[in-house]
Amino acid sequence: MESHPEFYAARALLEWQVELGATEAICDTPINRFELPEAQPKAAAASGAVAPAELPKGPQPAAALAVDAVAVARAAAQSSGDLAALSEAMATFDFCELKRGAKTTVFADGSPDARIMIIGEAPGRDEDSQGKPFVGRAGQLLDRMFAAIGLSRSAPDPEASIYITNIMPWRPPQNREPSPEEVAMMMPFVARHVELAQPDFLVLMGNTPCQALLGRKGITRMRGNWTTALNKPALPMFHPAYLLRNPQAKREAWHDLLMLQARLRGGS
């Protein structure tokens, strides 16, 4: 057998498949999926893919079967009439790979009636296990920062409270940055979240929400400069995780907190 050339060809093919990540044989005979009449749509974030309602009936070429995850997210977000419905819509949205590795869907914490809505990046390990945003070390610093200007996520009075969420509700593996495709498919949910909570001001914590909502990053230059995101006045600030690594930057963060406080009190 080993001297037969087909053996080497077959072994090379098998090695190639193993390298690609195929770890088990599912069928004895190959299936031509191009000829399957009722193939299931696959999730894909690729632009140009179609929303499910737009799929024509009958057999489709494989390329046309990719569902536009952004369109699905947009439809789910738009049909959510309140925050509870939005939270449920996010928890049942199955097109983002990050969900598979996460224990919980981290929606929000604090008071939805607060005047300030803080938007961070994504849950870490502590947030994933507790199902709440910003509860680890960075979150504890965030709490201390806002307490310094008299605000807290547990305050019952909307004037004294904050509302906290993230761009991404699922923890990325090894706390990597969410990819542009992952962010794109969650954006309709973030936009609807802001629309339903109706805060007076947004605080964008670090580069990820700046890139997602303003289309640019460079937090060192952007922080402390009021801008507009989702039709709301928005203040980019250093992420508290950055402040833990760079305590000398707390001085700028304090400056930004005072700006925010002045704006809350009706100043410029």
Nearest by Cα to 65 from 93, 96, 34: 34
Closest residue to ligand URA using C-beta atoms:
120
Question: Where in 4-43 is the site for ligand URA (CB under 6 A)?
Answer: none
Q: Considering beta carbons, is residue 139 or 199 the nearer one to ligand URA?
A: 139
Q: Considering beta carbons, is residue 137 or 216 the nearer one to ligand URA?
A: 137
**φ, ψ at 97 (rounded to 5°):** -55, -30
Question: Where in 94-153 is the site for ligand URA (CB under 6 A)?
Answer: 120-124, 127, 133-134, 136, 138-139
Cα(176)–Cα(122) distance, integer angstroms: 9
Q: Considering beta carbons, is residue 123 or 199 the nearer one to ligand URA?
A: 123
We find the least distance from the C-beta atom of residue 94 to ligand URA, in angstroms, to be 22
We find the least distance from the C-beta atom of residue 247 to ligand URA, in angstroms, to be 17
Give SS3 for 130: helix
We find the least distance from the C-beta atom of residue 16 to ligand URA, in angstroms, to be 39
Q: Considering beta carbons, is residue 113 or 177 the nearer one to ligand URA?
A: 177
Amino acid at 157: D
Nearest by Cα to 117 from 165, 158, 83: 165
We find the least distance from the C-beta atom of residue 222 to ligand URA, in angstroms, to be 16
52: which 2 tokens?
């499910």
251: which 2 tokens?
């001085």
Angle (CA) 164 141 241, round 5°: 85
Count CB atoms within 10 A of the CB of residue 18: 10
We find the least distance from the C-beta atom of residue 204 to ligand URA, in angstroms, to be 11
We find the least distance from the C-beta atom of residue 135 to ligand URA, in angstroms, to be 7
Q: Considering beta carbons, is residue 124 or 199 the nearer one to ligand URA?
A: 124
Q: Considering beta carbons, is residue 110 or 139 the nearer one to ligand URA?
A: 139
Question: Where in 162-191 is the site for ligand URA (CB under 6 A)?
Answer: 166
Helix axes 180-197, 207-214, angle to 10 degrees: 80
Residues in the interface with ligand URA (CB under 6 A) total 14
The position carrying tokens 């809505």 is: 117
Residue ranges of alpha helices (H) inside 21-122 are 69-78, 83-91, 98-101
Using CB under 6 A, list all residues that contact ligand URA.
Answer: 120-124, 127, 133-134, 136, 138-139, 166, 205, 241
